[in-house]
Amino acid sequence: MRAGVVFVQGAAPEHVQALHGAFDTLGIKGTVAQVRKRKDLDDLDCLIIPGGESTTISKLLLRFDLADEIRRMAADGVPIMGTCAGCVLLSKQGDEQVARTQTELLGLMDMQVDRNAFGRQRESFETSLRVEGLNEPFPAVFIRAPLIKKVWGGCRPLAKHGDDIVMARQENLLALSFHPELSGDTRLHQMLLKMI
């Protein structure tokens, strides 16, 4: 199995480690590609778009000719997980900050995000989240996190923090407003691998 992590900016190395942990737990022989250019996307079974700075990542996805190929992979059914900034980029609608910074979203999931929604209140926090599909709560790390303001169409919520949606799925696409790679718990990386 060959997983890829978009490696242009942000919290990418931690996802590589988490993927290897998930491979081990599931007893899968797998490799992880560091995606920096168009060719690195070839033959991937799944892809992670990490957290970081969504405006910067979106610009680099365009500059390195990755955005359209990622859209094509999504349409082909390749499982893709976007975390934090990656969650912002997967969505179809942003907020005024996304508009003001002219961030070009990948526009793949039927959801609207509010960028830095939690960041304004508390820069960073960890909480125990109930996630659909997991038996035990997940230790979720939020860092200047977006929230998923609404979902429609084929997108459905998988986790909430209070009333706020913080994880959603649409077919082969998973969006998480938190950082699953930072808590040493690989169950959500396993969830992505099981979607293959």
Provide the annotated active-site residues. 84, 179, 181
Residues interacting with ligand GLN, by CB under 6 A? 51-54, 84-85, 88, 115-116, 119, 143-144, 146
Q: Of 7 and 23, which has the nearer Cβ to ligand GLN?
A: 7
Cα 43-47-48 angle, rounded to 5 deg: 160
Q: Of 23 and 88, which has the nearer Cβ to ligand GLN?
A: 88
Give the C-alpha separation, 25 to 40, whole Å: 25
Shortest distance, position 77 Cβ to ligand GLN, whole Å: 26
Shortest distance, position 1 Cβ to ligand GLN, whole Å: 26
Shortest distance, position 140 Cβ to ligand GLN, whole Å: 12
Give the C-alpha separation, 40 to 31, whole Å: 13
Shortest distance, position 147 Cβ to ligand GLN, whole Å: 11
Q: Of 89 and 131, which has the nearer Cβ to ligand GLN?
A: 89
Q: Give the residues across from 81 on adjacent strands.
A: 48, 174
